[in-house]
Chains A and B, each alone.
Chain A
Amino acid sequence: MPATTKTNFQLVINGILKENPIFRLALSMCPAVGISTTMMNGLMLGIAVLFVQIFSSCTISLVKDYIHPRIRIPTYTLVIATWVTVIDLTLAALAPVAYKQMGIFIKLIVAFAIITMRLEVFACKNTLWPSFWDGVGMGGGFLFGMLTLGFVRELLGAGQLFGYDVLGFRPLLFFALPVAGFFCVGFLMAAFNYIEIVYNKRKKAVN
């Protein structure tokens, strides 16, 4: 795929809606299923992924000419691991309160498919500035997906949002289990696709 022709704003919107990593690209389902039990968890992980995605995309777009094509995947993994470690250590040193909440999630990010895929598909073929915005879009899309999932699962599973009692009782504890994560992702994916079909139909009717 040659260098992108989208504007920076279109890149961001692309990451959040059209190519949303969880609901359209079906990447990084592991955290989507396992960690989205509450909105706070989803928020923390989403923010951490956003940072790692942005930094990794920028780094790879800067060094893309020096990477031998056959070892690009190990190099991506190295870059992601380095950034995750740096962010983890810096956060532990500078923001201990935030680190207490987010600490466990940051270490998991190394294994995410979405970041490696984005580096492979986009960052190694584009310059710094578009890569930055693509990182923002993809990370933002992931954050949006985690928040949506967290909203559904926390509300229906614990009757709370961000820890605050909204319903006052627990409708179905089933939603706190990973099984429900699969179901929720499936249903939300279907909803996303349906919205896209309706949107395209309307666009065609207008044209």
Chain B
Amino acid sequence: MKEIIRITLGLTIACLIAGLIMGGVFTATERAKEHNEYLDIRATMTGMLGFNAAHPAPANLRFYSLYRYIIDDKGNKSIGYVLPLRKEKKISYALVIIGLDGKFKGIFDLNISKDKVSKVEERKTALNAVLKPPTIFTYADSTIIAKTGPKLLAYLLPGEFSGFKSIIKVMLALNSKFTITGLEIMEDEEDPGLGAEISQDYFKNQFDDKSLQRIKTLKVVKQPLPADYRKYLEKSKWEKGEFTKAEIDKIRNKYKDHNICALTGATITSKAMTRGIKGMVTKFAYRIRILDNALKQDKAPVAF
């Protein structure tokens, strides 16, 4: 009996100590870790817009984040956007509610600052102050609009969908006409050498320059990449002066409506990618038009 008590006590104390150590290290490193993740995503986004060490981003590059929520008010569903407004040169955030029919329903100011709005918990608190129960809201997705001054550079869409093994997280860049201008694989758990090749240039760059119309009918074909297309896709392996601008344009026009060539041994992953990206782009194009129309109805002073 005494043994059992000693053992139980020993284990409990060991667990407590371990828990305290882990908790302590977590609290101490949490801010640095989040900051690093934030910087990493910013670097990826800036890279996707075409800026790098050789062409640094202009000083007036701004990212505006929109967060979409599904609002359920006793069975009446509507769409809510948490978005930035510009009032007298200051950015503040508001909730715009749009009915499922696209009609503007209301706008509420949110008590949340720019650096807190990217955190799920802070948004939840701010929304709870405006949407009282029994209204429930669920986070759907977010969009980031990149602008230099008044010019829209790109829509950046973080998104996720199921791949062959588990979820693939991507970041898409669309221009103002919803043509894909960039794709980055943020997270995936596919097989190395097979499904994980989606992050290689020769696969993911195939999605570049696909227009909205083309994406709607995009398919995956089990064909090898034509040699000149493959060379064009592997942009990081180009030698200086290998392609003249005319040649680049020629190859781009030749293949911009080509179907996606599947990865060898990873057809399911290739199809999952195409299906996922198709869904992301078509749904986004539809939704952003509804948002634009609704905002025009209210003439809200949005920051983008």
| Chain A residues packing against B (C-beta within 8 Å) | 37-38, 41, 67-68, 70-71, 74-75, 78-79, 81-82, 85-86, 89-90, 92-94, 96, 99-100, 157-158, 173, 176
Contact = CB atoms under 8 A, between A and B. Distances in A.
A89 B194 contact: no
A93 B35 CA distance: 8
B33 interface: yes
A96 B265 contact: no
A80 B232 CA distance: 48
Q: In terms of DSSP, what is the predominant structure of the interface of chain B?
A: helix
A173 B265 contact: yes
Residue of B7, B10, B26, B265 contacting most chain A CB atoms (<10 Å):
B10
A93 B192 contact: no
Contacts of A94: 29, 32
B42 to A, nearest CB: 12
Contacts of B14: 71, 74-75, 78
A82 B18 contact: yes
B11 interface: yes
Nearest to A157: B193
B25 interface: yes
Given A93-B29, A94-B32, A82 B192 contact: no
Interface of B: 3, 6-7, 10-11, 14-15, 18, 21-22, 25-26, 29, 32-33, 36-37, 39-40, 191-194, 265
A94 B26 CA distance: 13
B165 to A, nearest CB: 13
A173 B264 CA distance: 11
B40 A86 contact: no
Nearest to A69: B7
Contacts of A81: 18
A89 B25 contact: yes
25 contacts: A67-B10, A68-B6, A68-B10, A70-B3, A71-B11, A74-B11, A79-B18, A81-B18, A85-B25, A85-B26, A86-B21, A86-B22, A89-B26, A90-B25, A92-B32, A92-B33, A93-B32, A93-B33, A93-B36, A94-B29, A96-B40, A99-B36, A173-B193, A176-B192, A176-B193
